[in-house]
Amino acid sequence: MSEPLVRVEGASRDFGSGAGTVHAVREVSLTAAPGELVAIRGRSGAGKTTLLNLIGGLDRPTAGRIWVAGHEVTAAGERELLALRRHTIGFVFQSFGLVPILSAAENVGVPMRLARLPAVAREQRVTMLLELVGLGDHAAQRPYELSGGQQQRVAVARAIANDPQLLIADEPTGQLDSETGRSIMDLIRALVRARGMTALVATHDPALLDLADRVLRLRDGRLDAAAAVASGR
């Protein structure tokens, strides 16, 4: 069995203090292997987004430790976290998060600009990525000219622009109809298979869970005791 790409040990995240403390994530431990798609399910408020934010270095746990690709996220400084988010971790959000004044191609190119990839290489990679997600003919269109499913495909292309080892997707189908949502999950599944990246996908849609290698359930910030911690691969 390969070393896990993601390892979480006893992670907790509290908000507030005293009697008003909210325990959003409670002593969660899990691993995810390279090339594995792990779905994290749970009702709204179960802690899915908070857990993904902790793993992605967007927030820090109150207790516990987290590693991604050999880097201890919980001990990293801001500069190291920025480097991780630029080169190792890609993010897809429910709200798409595209820049409205930029074209699809320009949105996909943003991470590569930040990584200072030369213009010619950047343009070639943008073209390849848009083709990969089925939007080769939509490079010049802006987000408001695209459907919700097309916008999320642009967001996926942007998330993998710098070839990350980990893709974090927080309710990526939450604003889409069931058929379009299925196509986005199929796309993420195909990318995991083709590129060997790890994907953590939060979803409350049971119809999409069959695409995952494993399904972990969060209830009130805790991982179900029945959920496997070791990778299933």
Q: What is the pLDDT of residue 229?
A: 41
pLDDT band at 225 (very low <50, low <70, confident <90, very high): low
The packing angle between helices 148-159 and 119-132, to 10°, is 130
Mean pLDDT computed over 2-19: 90
Q: What is the pLDDT of residue 233?
A: 41
Q: What pTM, to 2 d.p., does this model score?
A: 0.89
Taking only the tens place, the pLDDT of each residue in 27-50 is 999 999 999 999 999 888 889 999
Distance between CA atoms of residues 5 and 199, nearest Å: 10
Taking only the tens place, the pLDDT of each residue in 113-172 is 988 889 999 999 999 999 999 999 999 999 999 999 999 999 999 999 989 999 999 988
Alpha helical stretches, state H, the chain: 48-55, 78-87, 104-114, 119-132, 148-159, 178-195
Mean pLDDT computed over 183-190: 90
pLDDT band at 224 (very low <50, low <70, confident <90, very high): confident
Q: What is the pLDDT of residue 177?
A: 87
